[in-house]
């Protein structure tokens, strides 16, 4: 987790990740889709989280950017209200 991250959403998103492929998941909460890094973190000290999965299947990606199991959802989003979106985690 990055201490300059902002809450992109207070719900996770199911995303199919392919086995063996490298993904860079947005950790700053500023990318356009909130899921994949698009370089928007450059205004912060955040860096994306590289992930490679072993199985091709849907994964619940953390969009509150505060999961202890980032980039995967651990339920932490339940502590954020709609009014927390766009604010610091
Ligand atoms: S855009 Fe968020 S980590 Fe790169």
pLDDT tens digits along 31-61: 999 999 999 999 999 999 999 999 999 999 9
Over range 4-30, report the average pLDDT.
98
Q: Give 56 or 1, the one with higher predicted confidence.
A: 56
Answer yes or no: is the C-beta of 37 below 6 A from any ligand 1 atom. yes
In the prediction, which pLDDT does 30 show? 98
pTM: 0.95
Answer yes or no: is the C-beta of 44 below 6 A from any ligand 1 atom. no
The C-alpha atoms of residue 16 and residue 14 are separated, in whole angstroms, by 7
Answer yes or no: is the C-beta of 27 below 6 A from any ligand 1 atom. yes
Question: What letters, b where the CB count within 10 A reaches 16 and e where it falls short, cover 7-25?
Answer: bbbbebbeeebeeeeebbb
């Amino acid at each position: 987790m990055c201490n300059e991250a902002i809450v992109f959403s207070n719900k996770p998103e199911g995303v199919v990740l392919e086995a063996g492929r490298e993904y860079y998941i947005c950790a700053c909460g500023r990318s356009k889709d909130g899921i994949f890094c698009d370089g928007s973190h450059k205004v912060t000290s955040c860096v994306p989280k590289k992930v490679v999965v072993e199985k091709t299947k849907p994964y619940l990606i953390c969009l509150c950017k505060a999961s202890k199991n980032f980039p995967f959802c651990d339920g932490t989003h339940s502590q954020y209200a709609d009014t927390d979106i766009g604010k610091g985690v």
